[in-house]
Amino acid sequence: MDDDEKDLRKEIEELEKLIAEVKKQNEEEKKRLKGGNRPEDPKVVRINIAAEYSRDPFINLIVGFLVNFILIFGIIEVLKLGEAENTFVFLWISAGFTVYDFLLKFLLMNRFPKLVFYSSGIIFLLTHLLFFYAMDLWVFVKSFAFANDIYPLVFVFLFSVLRVIVKNLYSLIVRGLSVRATEK
């Protein structure tokens, strides 16, 4: 019986060692999970299509008007997508678009946020397209016209992409300047 007792004790000791080892592994796993050593989440690039230049609506309108004018004038004149009687037409279109865009974003983001989120911002692209078709066909009938019916689509696409790039660059620059100002 001594041999049986010894074998039984050895097995119990081995089981106790295994239990201790499992407990140690369990504690290490808990520490690893608490420490944040989880596998990294996939990186997501988010672009805020409805971004603003400033929290102040007046500054937002002024900067928005300037950016819109430069982009509208530049895209249409450089790519020869349309013709205008004079430069003041571009000023009026830019002013109208700035107010239209400001009101549209205010309305959609406050009243219909689900529409904006579910459409991933495509609603803005479509409403901008409607605006520029209206400027071409109804408002500035004799003083402004796109060269053909497809150019407003090309223009709105380029205009929207460039506006997003300019807004993000603007916010990065302003953020960098504000960080530098706080460091001094």
- In the predicted model, residues of the chain with pLDDT beneath 70 are 1, 35-52, 184
The 10s digit of each residue's pLDDT in 81-123 is 999 999 899 999 999 999 999 999 889 888 988 888 888 778 8
The answer to whether 73 touches 90, Cβ cutoff 8 Å, is yes
- Alpha-carbon span 132 to 146, nearest angstrom: 9
Four-point Cα dihedral 26, 27, 33, 38, nearest 10 = -60
- The number of beta carbons lying within 10 Å of the beta carbon of residue 100 is 16
pLDDT at res. 156: 94
DSSP type of residue 21: H
Radius of gyration of the chain from its Cα atoms, rounded to whole angstroms: 31
CA 25 to chain centre: 43
Note the pLDDT of residue 101.
93
For residue 129, give every residue at least 6 positions away whose Cβ sits within 8 Å of its Cβ, in sequence order, or none.
152, 153, 156
Asked if 171 and 52 count as a contact pair (C-beta separation under 8 A), the reply is no
Structure confidence at residue 127 (pLDDT): 94
> What pLDDT was estimated at residue 36?
56
Max Cα–Cα distance, the chain, nearest Å: 113
Give the per-residue pLDDT at 151: 92
Quote the pLDDT of residue 15.
Answer: 82
